[in-house]
Amino acid sequence: MSIIKNMHKKAISPVIATVLLISLVVVLASIIFLWARAFIPETIQKFDSPIADSCASVVFEASYSNGVVTIQNNGNVPIYSIQVGIKKGFSIEYNEVAPATIVLGEMERYEVSGISAGDELIIVPVLLGKTSSGELKGYACSDENAKIIRA
Amino acid sequence: MPRLFGLDNMIQSKRGISDVVATVLIMMITIAAVAVIAGFIVPFVRNSLQKSTECTAYKSYYTFDESFGYNCYDENTYSISIKASFEKALAENVGGIKIVFIDKSGASKVVEIKNDSISSQDEGGISIKGSPLENLRIPGPGGVITYAYNALAEEQFLSAEVYPILKNGRICADSKEPIELIACRD
């Protein structure tokens, strides 16, 4: 008798059940995606390849005189900015300069403070690349692509 | 028997809420539930996700620098050169450095460096190599600083690890890239 009674009980319709299941899966997938995305490092691209590849093609000359670092770009990769590292004692401190893009054959002068005569300067080129979200971002090349000059 | 019939009549004559009121109630409960989820659970989940992954970007933030030829020991003085990444956005959240010295038994000694903390050349103290009287500081973006740690007489370390300490106090000790400490060359 009770079995027959239970058979008349109405549950949620198959459509609602499907919608609920899909919603649950979408919410769970979103949470997992947001969590997992943080483990993937942001990549910066230039000329449709990782920007570190472009750093190897940077060709430039650097010189220093009276608080001014002069950069001459002799390569095809535009230099967005530079980082000037000053080696003092057993430490290196980098100074950031205002960005000014230097293209092939052009020269740019950057005023840098805190340099004393005889200091070793490490000039690191900074390139402009595009992140996966389309945002433009500066990327400092590695020490291998740097130029070392003496003040 | 008549009493039973009376009860049945009473139950059958009870009227529930109308379909419209029931639907409105269900909709209101649903809206309230969505509001609670949006206001509490979503920020909670987002915050938890952020906390669980905030150290990922700092995995190789500090590395041992070899340009000065240090990361070695001379008697009881351990000279360690630490280089920071150029990522300026990451640097803003870093509040200090944790250096872990490990001896042959696997026991470790932890030394923490924070900006403007007092340097010391005493046993168990740490200072900036070449500027022992200066307060301690951490390297800025791209920078390198060589520290001198004066070990206790009984301490003999074989390797060292370096981790960033974030401004919220969290130590990002996910990466384990120890450097072997060798005797310094003259």
pLDDT of residue B185: 80
A86 in the same domain as A18? no
Looking at the complex, report in whole angstroms how far the Cα of residue B121 sits from the nearest Cα belonging to chain A: 17
HSE, side-chain direction, 13 A CA sphere, residue A61: 7
pLDDT of residue B20: 86
ipTM, two decimals: 0.71
Can you tell me the mean pLDDT for B119-133? 91
Can you tell me the mean pLDDT for B90-111? 92
Q: How many domains does chain A have?
A: 2
CA distance A61 to A36: 43
Claim: this prediction has a pTM higher than 0.80: no
Domain of residue A12: give its range.
2-37
Instruction: Please say if the pLDDT value at position B116 is more than 80.
Output: yes
HSE, side-chain direction, 13 A CA sphere, residue B76: 12
A13 in the same domain as A60? no
The CATH number assigned to the domain with range B57-183 reads: 2.60.40
- Answer yes or no: do B129 and A89 touch at CB < 8 A: yes
> What burial class does residue B31 get, using C-beta atoms within 10 Å of its C-beta: 0-12 exposed, 13-18 middle, 19+ buried?
exposed
The chain A residues in contact with chain B (CB within 8 A) are: 31, 34-35, 38-39, 41, 83, 85, 89-94, 96, 124, 140, 143
Query: Which region among A101-105, A140-144, B45-49 has the lowest average model confidence (pLDDT)?
Result: B45-49
A137 in the same domain as A64? yes
A133 in the same domain as A59? yes
Instruction: Please say if the pLDDT value at position B162 is more than 80.
Output: yes
A96 in the same domain as A53? yes
Write out pLDDT tens, residues A107-116. 889 888 888 8
A16 in the same domain as A86? no
A105 in the same domain as A61? yes
Residues of B whose CB is below 8 A from A92: 67, 139, 142-144
A136 in the same domain as A67? yes
A78 in the same domain as A28? no
Q: How confident is the model at residue A43 (pLDDT cuts 50, 70, 90)?
A: confident
| The residue to which tokens 């949620």 are assigned | A12
Q: The domain that contains A82 carries what CATH number?
A: 2.60.40
Q: Which residue of A has its CA nearest to B58?
A: A41
- Answer yes or no: do B67 and A38 touch at CB < 8 A: no
Total residue count of chain B as it appears in this document: 186
A114 in the same domain as A81? yes
Domain layout of chain B by residue ranges: 2-53, 57-183
Query: Which region among A136-145, B15-24, B31-40, B91-100 has the lowest average model confidence (pLDDT)?
Result: B15-24
Write out pLDDT tens, residues B47-87. 887 788 888 888 889 999 988 888 999 988 999 999 999 88
The chain B residues in contact with chain A (CB within 8 A) are: 45-46, 49-50, 52-53, 56-57, 67-68, 70, 79, 81, 86, 88, 128-131, 139-146
| The residue to which tokens 């920007």 are assigned | A51
